[in-house]
Amino acid sequence: MRQSIVAVLSLILLAAPSLTAAAPHATTSNGNCLTTTPSSAFTPPRTWRTLSDAIMRSIWRLPEQQLAFGTGLTSYHAPSDAPRGQRLTRYGEDVVLRFNVSTAAEASALAKASNALLLDVWEFNDDWADIRVAQHVVPSLLALLPPSLQKAHAPLMRNRDLTRAISDSYPSPSLTQSHEDRLYSPSLEPASHPGKGHPFFQNYQPLSVINPWMNLMASMFTTHVRRVNVGISYEGRDIPALRVGVYPTNNDKESSPRKTVLVTGGSHAREWISTSTVNYLAWSLINSYGKVPSVTKLLESFDFVFVPTLNPDGYVYSWETDRLWRKNRQPTSLRFCHGVDLDRSYSYKWEGDSTRSSPCSESFAGEAPFDGVEAQRFAKWAKNETENNNVEFVGFLDLHSYSQQILYPYAFSCEEEPPSIEDLEELALGLAKAIRISRNRHTYKVTSACEGNVAISKKGRILLPRIESSGGSALDWFYHELRVKYAFQIKLRDTGSYGFLLPKENIVPTGEEILDAVLYFGRFMMGEVGFGSPSK
């Protein structure tokens, strides 16, 4: 059924150049800002969406008029103080709904409806799923759901709508200007304002700022920092990384592989907190070497490779054009549907057959394993490190948002357990405890990634049908193919109040709690904590 829908949409889009309204609205660059043409308070339904709605109604015989969406939400009115150049009108008609799922029939119906309508599934966990949808599409969505789900939902961000949250996620122009020089000052000591930390982490930063900042780290701390590239993006950008560690000076350097921990973020472009957190971790370890004995010992025992933006093209696009862009930016077989979901593109248990016919899907896995350019080149780099550069990857921490979870393999299925399940669970619980007893005291759930990707019934923990495919993940590939014993996906703050639009005030607190987890990870690897430690 879905293949037929996409085929029809494809033919119509390809045959009608006038429907280019489906593409992003035109923008012009002005320094670091983008300008847009002012719009009315309510943006009418996009042409492509109106067309697809008509097709859906015809296929499922939905009525032309349905009950209005009774959430009490009103159309967005752009605030007079909205920062210039931010593309807010794109989401003026959108809402994020949380559906409470309790049965297999409900989970299956929600998954099918989301796939058929090509909706943006934000997150799903235990017995709920968050879905972004245009307000005028909500009646069509509800008509495809069982009666129990038609009332079992509520909007997120009640007190701050989607467009306001998007606006607030960008740096304040005044702050950007006032901190411009301080961002690149020789002193990396925390600011005098308690809790705020270095100015670099008071805002989310674009790639044009992150790149020179990484170069600065490598040039200032030559004893233990090197700037490396782990691949080239589809559009030709470097995939930048910082290798932090101190090589031994004796003959052991050549005889034994260098144990290395990979810390990645930004596979999904809109998850800005993952990129900021990777940078915060790198900065913290870099600045603590030689000052904090435990960190000094850690960096003499292991290398850490920090990759803040595995998806640089998508990240830039999320800053310049579409704040909620998820995939990379390579073309697909459909003219108006760009991008592959990099975290569905890896070769191990690739499930592209289930999403291959929907290039417009946010979870499109590509036409074949490793079709995602950045995933393929990053994996190639990692494999080359192990085969030719005397590197042994002993840890993999893949940061995402949101839902506050620590997930261990496997993601593709709950029917197969990883060989080192006991060790994975022990370390994951230790990481969660390190976060919980840290200065911020947030709770992170620990579970298998397969359970983190499906709904779980509270009645006997029965696995419910998937809301999204989860094969082809980086987590499973590094664990199974590259034999990284301790591989985890960490989903950062929050649990749905803001989702991908986490306020920038959370950058430092999130970095602090994940730093505590990374330091625990290092102590575990050195045998200082855990069941195998001397104290046990």
The reply to whether 228 and 132 lie within a common domain is no
The reply to whether 377 and 513 lie within a common domain is yes
- Decide which of 148, 165, 182 is a domain's last residue: 165
- Decide which of 165, 192, 221 is a domain's last residue: 165
The reply to whether 228 and 321 lie within a common domain is yes
- Decide which of 107, 141, 165 is a domain's last residue: 165
Q: Which domain holds residue 92?
A: 88-165
Pairing of strands 405-408, 258-264: unpaired
- What pLDDT score does 239 carry? 98
The reply to whether 131 and 262 lie within a common domain is no
Query: Looking at the domain assignment, is residue 187 inside a domain?
Result: no
The reply to whether 239 and 150 lie within a common domain is no
- What pLDDT score does 124 carry? 86
pLDDT tens per residue, range 375-400: 999 999 999 999 999 999 999 999 99
Sign of CA dihedral 375, 377, 380, 381: negative
Does the pLDDT value for residue 331 go beyond 90? yes
Does the pLDDT value for residue 350 go beyond 50? yes
- What pLDDT score does 53 carry? 47
Share of the chain above pLDDT 90, in %: 61
Contact 279, 308 (CB under 8 A): yes
Distance of CA 459 to the CA centre of its chain: 30
Tell me the mean pLDDT in the region 473-500.
97
Contact 23, 360 (CB under 8 A): no
Does the pLDDT value for residue 191 go beyond 60? no
Q: 292-301: which pairs have CB atoms within 8 A and are 24 or more residues apart?
A: 294/519, 294/522, 294/523, 295/519, 297/526, 298/519, 298/522, 298/526, 299/224, 299/244, 299/245, 299/246, 300/245, 300/246, 300/248, 301/259, 301/522, 301/525, 301/526
Does the pLDDT value for residue 222 go beyond 60? yes
Sign of CA dihedral 75, 273, 474, 448: negative
The reply to whether 263 and 134 lie within a common domain is no
Q: How confident is the model at residue 173 (pLDDT cuts 50, 70, 90)?
A: low
Least confident of 101-110, 190-199, 491-500: 190-199
The reply to whether 274 and 416 lie within a common domain is yes
Q: How confident is the model at residue 172 (pLDDT cuts 50, 70, 90)?
A: confident
Q: How many CB atoms lie within 10 A of CB 58?
A: 10
Query: Looking at the domain assignment, is residue 54 inside a domain?
Result: no
Q: Residue 269 is which amino acid?
A: A
Does the pLDDT value for residue 313 go beyond 60? yes
**CATH of residue 225:** 3.40.630.10
- What pLDDT score does 92 carry? 82
Q: How many CB atoms lie within 10 A of CB 259?
A: 15
Tell me the mean pLDDT in the region 126-139.
91
- Phi–psi pair at 448, nearest 5 degrees: -65, 145
- What pLDDT score does 110 carry? 92
Distance of CA 239 to the CA centre of its chain: 16
Q: How confident is the model at residue 125 (pLDDT cuts 50, 70, 90)?
A: confident
Query: Looking at the domain assignment, is residue 152 inside a domain?
Result: yes
Does the pLDDT value for residue 32 go beyond 50? no
Query: Looking at the domain assignment, is residue 3 inside a domain?
Result: no
Q: Hey, what are 464's tokens?
A: 């419910």
Q: Which of 183, 114, 100 is nearest to 148 (CA)?
A: 100
Residue that wins the pLDDT comparison between 466 and 447? 447
pLDDT tens per residue, range 261-289: 999 999 999 999 999 999 999 999 999 99
Query: Looking at the domain assignment, is residue 111 inside a domain?
Result: yes
- What pLDDT score does 107 carry? 87
Query: Looking at the domain assignment, is residue 72 inside a domain?
Result: no
HSE-CB at 303 with a 13 A cutoff on CA atoms is 25
- What pLDDT score does 441 carry? 86
Q: Hey, what are 65's tokens?
A: 């008029």
Domain count, the chain: 2
pLDDT tens per residue, range 33-72: 333 333 333 344 444 444 444 544 454 444 444 433 333 3
Tell me the mean pLDDT in the region 309-318.
98
**Average predicted confidence (pLDDT) for the chain:** 81
**CATH of residue 154:** 3.30.70.340
The reply to whether 482 and 392 lie within a common domain is yes
The reply to whether 100 and 245 lie within a common domain is no
Query: Looking at the domain assignment, is residue 504 inside a domain?
Result: yes
The reply to whether 131 and 230 lie within a common domain is no
Query: Looking at the domain assignment, is residue 124 inside a domain?
Result: yes
Distance of alpha carbon 500 from alpha carbon 42, whole angstroms: 23
The reply to whether 147 and 263 lie within a common domain is no
Distance of alpha carbon 269 from alpha carbon 402, whole angstroms: 13
- What pLDDT score does 250 carry? 57
The reply to whether 147 and 225 lie within a common domain is no
Residue that wins the pLDDT comparison between 532 and 171? 171
Confidence (pTM): 0.82
- What pLDDT score does 315 carry? 98
**Max mean pLDDT range (34-38, 418-422, 457-461):** 418-422
Share of the chain above pLDDT 70, in %: 72
- What pLDDT score does 1 carry? 46
Pairing of strands 258-264, 391-401: parallel
In a 10 Å sphere around its CB, with 0-12 CB exposed, 13-18 middle and 19+ buried, how is residue 24 labelled? middle
HSE-CB at 494 with a 13 A cutoff on CA atoms is 15
